[in-house]
Structure 1
Amino acid sequence: MTKLALSLACTQTDRAAPILDGRIAISGCDVIPLPGVTQTIFRQVLDDKAFDIAEMSMSSHLIQVDRGVRDYVALPIFLSRSFRHSAIYINANSGIKKPEDLRGCKFGVQQFQQTVGLWVRGMLADEYGIRSQDVTWMNGGLEAPGGGERLKLDLPEEISLTPIPATETLNGMLADGRLDALIATKPPSSFTSGDSRVARLFPDYQSAEKDYFRKTRAFPIMHCVVVRQSLVDQHPWLPAEVFKAFVRAKALALDEMKQVNILRLTLPWIAETFADVQNLMGGDIWNYGLKESRHEIEHMLRYAHGDGLTGRHLTPEEVFHPSTFSLSDKI
């Protein structure tokens, strides 16, 4: 059988690298590896339909599903997960000392639809009673002017979202107090440079995130994998084979963290750190599959509808390809 030549665009992480570098094969396929930056990949998928298989923002995919856009189908392969208490920054002179103080503040985001914001807003509502409509949202570039939403949004009237001035940055506006708070996937330069005007809302964010996991058992999902719909129509076996390959790649990455004869990662005590995380989160710290991650997906669907990103409350089965419903990431 002639193999399919398929492009694969995703971030070069330990759990994707074995497929990108050829150590793990997708059965029936020859992979054309295209490692890249996720924000660029997302826009190329949404605007140009540029890749056969790609890493994709979960929130943008939910918006597309809600709108009936079926250029790609999603697989429950979660290449990015991250706790996000660490992603909330505040102006130290704003009077904000605890999450409840965020009510009525001006809150910056690069994009309202980013999955990091989806989880932060949901967490603030669930844990602290701060709803999306309780603050004023402002979007724009973090370190350079510009930016904007990947997909045009039509938010409910009660949620206020306006762009920052075209010549300004979120980083600058947070530092000088024109923003009270900021959600960002990486620390703004004002914070990393030691500017005393900028701080984290949760200084001990690791403890906060561990407590959040103990309470909710949720490890926030950021990205999934999508496959071109036309390919799946022609080759119904493809989603399952892609899923199985990524499961094997993840297993290899997790196994390498346990090797102590020669450390595979450039970090002392990595095996001990991995064991500590397993003690908290369980044996498989990074689940793939609909069954294994249903509760986290249901959180996201509730948050997306509450934020007005989706016009109705989607079900998990609407989000992923049916052939993956029963697949497990247990090898």
Structure 2
Amino acid sequence: MKTAATLPEIFEGMVRGGAYDVAELGLTFYLRSLEQDPPYVALPIFPNRVFRHSCVFVNVHSGITGPADLTGRTIGEFGTYGQDSGVWAKGILMDEHGFRPEDNRWIIGGLEHPAPPFDFIPHPHPPQVDVSVAPAGRTLNRMLDDGEIDALFSANVPQCFLDRSPNVARLFADFEPLERDYHRRTGIFPIMHTIVIRRDLLRLAAEVYRAFAEAKDAALERYRGARRLHQVQTMVPWMNALVERNATEFPDDWWPYGIAANRRTLETYLRYHYEQGLSTRRWKIEEIFATELLDI
């Protein structure tokens, strides 16, 4: 079997035919597949979580200087309308700034390479939301830089921004204070991905959870121990100061697995998914995770 090179390829392998016994899967890919009774079920293991104020990029010539300016704009999104980072970004903007996705035009395409929308998942969206596909041969990165789209909601930082294009900026240039304030007020550390396991292997769910938890705890312990050496192995100046600052805001386990420590974050995501028209109903946590691990 060909080794998957990217996360979308891993997702496709799992969604199309259960190519793996255990795999990482984006939450929106998982929720969409639940409508079709998939042969796998999620475990409360969360390998990908990122604050998302930083994931909205704008063309500086579009006149967008704040969230209110997003109304009536053309916005790009990678692969599907409502990828995980986009669900969070839209939801946060809706809750805190009155953003309305239906007031915009959405263009779906490849970020750095031309690509059609993912063809292995459904693409639900409310009928009043205008969603179309990027022109053939065009990338969202280039369209943003050239001003063909006004904004981009992206899990990955587009290359034009990394190349310091004068045409592109973040919607929230000083995003860290906003994300820290959001976390203090809500207790939410956004979750994008979960781990799924084939249903016929659910007898191993507790062992899989324990293995992932032990690996995560080992990684956390390396960060804790590296404080003695000023986090020198990361090769990032002032990383030690960042770790120490984070320690004042986060509990000792700042990347928790399990339901109890993540209930509010998960319930918020499920609400966003439903409010944005990506689910036919609002799922409950107890319906989407393995019953064997609901008490963790």
Which SS does the other structure have where 2:62 is aligned?
coil
Structure 2 letter corresponding to 1:282: P
1:222 aligned residue: 192
Distance 2:10 2:88 in 1: 21
Superposed displacement of residue 168, structure 1? 1.2
Aligned residues between the structures: 290
Superposed displacement of residue 113, structure 1? 3.2
Structure 2 letter corresponding to 1:206: E
**Contact 2:55 2:157 survives alignment (8 Å):** yes
* Contiguous gaps of at least 5 residues in structure 1: 1-33
Distance 2:32 2:157 in 1: 27
1:323 aligned residue: 292
**Contact 1:60 1:113 survives alignment (8 Å):** no
Which deviations, in whole Å up to 9, do the C-alpha atoms of 1:270-320 show, x marking residues without a partner?
Answer: 444223112112222111111110101111111111111110011011110
Which deviations, in whole Å up to 9, do the C-alpha atoms of 1:45-83 show, x marking residues without a partner?
Answer: 112311001111011111112x04221110000011001
TM-score (norm 1): 0.83
Structure 2 letter corresponding to 1:243: Y
Greater share of helix residues, 1 or 2? 2
Determine which of 292, 303, 311 is the counterpart of 2:280: 311
Determine which of 229, 239, 261 is the counterpart of 2:205: 239
Which SS does the other structure have where 1:116 is aligned?
helix
Determine which of 222, 225, 232 is the counterpart of 1:259: 225
Change (3 A) 1:56 1:96: same
2:14 aligned residue: 45
Structure 1 letter corresponding to 2:123: L
Determine which of 115, 125, 128 is the counterpart of 1:158: 128
Distance 1:35 1:166 in 2: 25
Distance 1:171 1:267 in 2: 27
1:299 aligned residue: 268
Question: RCO higher in 1 or 2 (8 Å CA, sep ≥ 6)?
Answer: 2
Q: Percent identity?
A: 36
2:23 matched to 1:81? no
Determine which of 186, 208, 221 is the counterpart of 2:178: 208
Structure 1 letter corresponding to 2:75: F
Distance 1:219 1:36 in 2: 27
Which SS does the other structure have where 2:249 is aligned?
helix
Which SS does the other structure have where 1:259 is aligned?
helix
Which deviations, in whole Å up to 9, do the C-alpha atoms of 1:93-114 show, x marking residues without a partner?
Answer: 1111001110111110012131
Superposed displacement of residue 35, structure 1? 8.4
Which SS does the other structure have where 1:281 is aligned?
coil
Which deviations, in whole Å up to 9, do the C-alpha atoms of 1:6-51 show, x marking residues without a partner?
Answer: xxxxxxxxxxxxxxxxxxxxxxxxxxxx785322211111123110
Distance 1:151 1:246 in 2: 27
2:69 aligned residue: 101
Structure 2 letter corresponding to 1:299: T
2:165 aligned residue: 195
Distance 1:36 1:207 in 2: 34
220-229 or 186-195, larger mean C-alpha shift: 186-195
Superposed displacement of residue 151, structure 1? 0.9
1:282 aligned residue: 251
**Contact 1:257 1:270 survives alignment (8 Å):** no
Structure 1 letter corresponding to 2:213: V
Determine which of 250, 256, 259 is the counterpart of 2:216: 250
**Contact 1:106 1:137 survives alignment (8 Å):** yes
**Contact 1:88 1:181 survives alignment (8 Å):** yes
1:70 aligned residue: 38
**Contact 1:58 1:222 survives alignment (8 Å):** yes
**Contact 1:174 1:182 survives alignment (8 Å):** yes
2:139 matched to 1:173? no
Distance 2:88 2:133 in 1: 21
Structure 1 letter corresponding to 2:29: S
Distance 1:264 1:244 in 2: 27
Structure 2 letter corresponding to 1:252: A
Which SS does the other structure have where 1:257 is aligned?
helix
Superposed displacement of residue 265, structure 1? 3.8
Structure 2 letter corresponding to 1:118: V
**Contact 1:259 1:271 survives alignment (8 Å):** no
Distance 1:38 1:193 in 2: 24
Change (3 A) 1:271 1:125: same
Distance 2:233 2:43 in 1: 29
Change (3 A) 1:179 1:269: closer
Distance 2:41 2:287 in 1: 10
Distance 2:241 2:65 in 1: 34
